Structure 1
């Protein structure tokens, strides 16, 4: 198996997302991640925070989406590409049923789930992954091309 040669520089960041929201993104249902501040577009490692939003588990939309999925915490579980970051205009309908008013909406595309979660520490802000972490993640995605 050949492992992809990755570009150098800061082409990818990590984004930490609480469960069950990360599982909803991996399932392909949640295509918008919400943040209080603007984010740049580009590739991100999808990292799950160590905590689970227990209240969210009682939301029907989330319950239907994550049924049968394991809620892994404290690990990189996939990669994705943020293709847009916007706020909905005041008074306009939300861009997604997952997009609350007032938040910055990160449009998430090209989601690829890892077969095996890679344990890692994340941060609240966009974070730079170590080369070792990138190696362990992309070893599982040999056909990935940024």
Structure 2
């Protein structure tokens, strides 16, 4: 499938994630992203925001997961598919060690890291990537099939 044969329209969104959490997703360790509002399922560009949550780097689970990785910022670093978005019932065990109580949990699958980050501006909440950005991302993933 060439870049030109990717679906058109509103089939992919962007999600901006602070570091080191974006790197944790790329390793495959973090399969749940916490959000204050519900998201739809489907493909997303994984955008590493410009901010780094420095205190998170001292959390053993996170420190171990990102050890030796470059914490790229301000760029699309990969893609993933949101397969579910839910809130765990109050008082129930959390669905993941990465899940936060009371948050919406975006379950991520099919994560693909880009060989080269693509500089881009993200934003809070789901955002629509430009056709040019989508083309730059998928030039690096010639085998991708949505």
Which category describes the TM-score, using the shorter chain as reference length?
Answer: over 0.9
Structure 2 counterpart of 1:44: 44
- Taking only aligned residues, the RMSD between alpha carbons, in angstroms, comes to 1.1
1:4 deviates by 5.7
Matches within 5 A, 1:1-146: 2-3=2-3, 5-146=5-146
Q: Does the CA contact (< 8 Å) of 1:4 and 1:144 recur in 2?
A: no
Q: TM-score, normalised by structure 1?
A: 0.98
Shift of 1:18: 0.2
Give the distance between the partners of 2:28 and 2:56, measured in 1 at CA: 17
Distance 1:63 1:5 in 2: 40
Q: Distance in 2 between matches of 1:2 and 1:39?
A: 28
Over residues 47-93 of structure 1, what are the superposed CA-to-partner deviations in whole Å (9 max), with x where a residue is unaligned? 01101000000000000000110000000000000000000011100
Aligned pairs, number: 146
Deviations 1:14-33 (A, max 9, x none): 00000000000000000000
Q: Distance in 2 between matches of 1:27 and 1:47?
A: 15
What's the TM-score, normalizing by structure 2?
A: 0.98
Cα contact 1:16–1:124 (8 A) shared by 2? yes
Whole-Å separation in 1 of the counterparts to 2:119 and 2:14: 13
Secondary structure of the equivalent of 1:30?
A: coil
Unpaired stretches in structure 2, ≥5 consecutive residues: none
State the alpha-carbon separation in 2 of the partners of residues 49 and 58 from structure 1.
19
The 4+ residue runs of structure 1 with deviation greater than 4 A are none
